[in-house]
Amino acid sequence: MSSISAIDFVFQNAIPQTAFGIFMIGIVLGFDGFAYGWTIRFFRANVGQRPNPSMIRATFFFILCTQLLALTQLASIVIWAAAILLVGVTPDWFTSIRLSASSYTTLGDFPSSMPGGWHLTPAFMAFSGLFSFAWASSSIISMLNSLNKFLDAENKSTE
């Protein structure tokens, strides 16, 4: 059994994993940013510009857009799963989905012996998941602010 020096470990494992992880965080957050921006614009276009405000319509679009944000999170998990499958971290699609879903916001269930020493990858998945959920939360708050302004306008128009 040969020992590996700390310098060899860093150059053979940590640097490539870090580069891959940072690149994938950028891909996932870029995708999320586009989807979240589109969802907020969609919400505001369908709720905030109506001449006769309707609480039922506003609530429906809020729920719909919240579900779109959730679907974006699921798509981000799929992006991670495809990436780790392509680089050979996992042997099949089911394992890739399971690893990315369990690691998306926490360091979840993953095997202790990952091929090629890809042990940092779940941590980068968790970073991107936490960033994505924070962004989705702020998107929901933005939609709630728009919804509250809309409903305030509705209350003023009925007085």
What integer pLDDT is reported at residue 58 of this predicted model?
A: 84
Per-residue pLDDT tens over the stretch 100-155 = 998 888 866 666 556 666 778 888 999 999 999 999 999 999 888 878 877 776 66
- Are the CB atoms for 122 and 108 separated by under 8 Å? yes
Burial of 154 (0-12, 13-18, 19+ CB in 10 A): middle
Residue 104 to residue 98: CA distance in whole angstroms? 10
More confident of the two residues 121 and 12: 121
Instruction: Name the token pair of 30.
Output: 């870029």
What integer pLDDT is reported at residue 1 of this predicted model?
A: 45
Specify the pTM.
Answer: 0.82
More confident of the two residues 21 and 11: 21
Categorize the per-residue pLDDT at 12 as very low, low, confident or very high, splitting at 50, 70 and 90: low
What integer pLDDT is reported at residue 59 of this predicted model?
A: 87
Check whether 32 has a pLDDT greater than 90.
Answer: yes
* Mean pLDDT across 6-18: 69
The gap from C-alpha 58 to its chain's centroid, in whole angstroms, comes to 25
Residue 120 to residue 19: CA distance in whole angstroms? 11
* Mean pLDDT across 53-57: 77
* DSSP letters for 104-148: SSS--S--SS-GGG-TTHHHHHHHHHHHHHHHHHHHHHHHHHHHH
Provide the 8-state DSSP code for 89: S
Instruction: Name the token pair of 139.
Output: 């998107």
Instruction: Write down the mean pLDDT value for the chain.
Output: 83
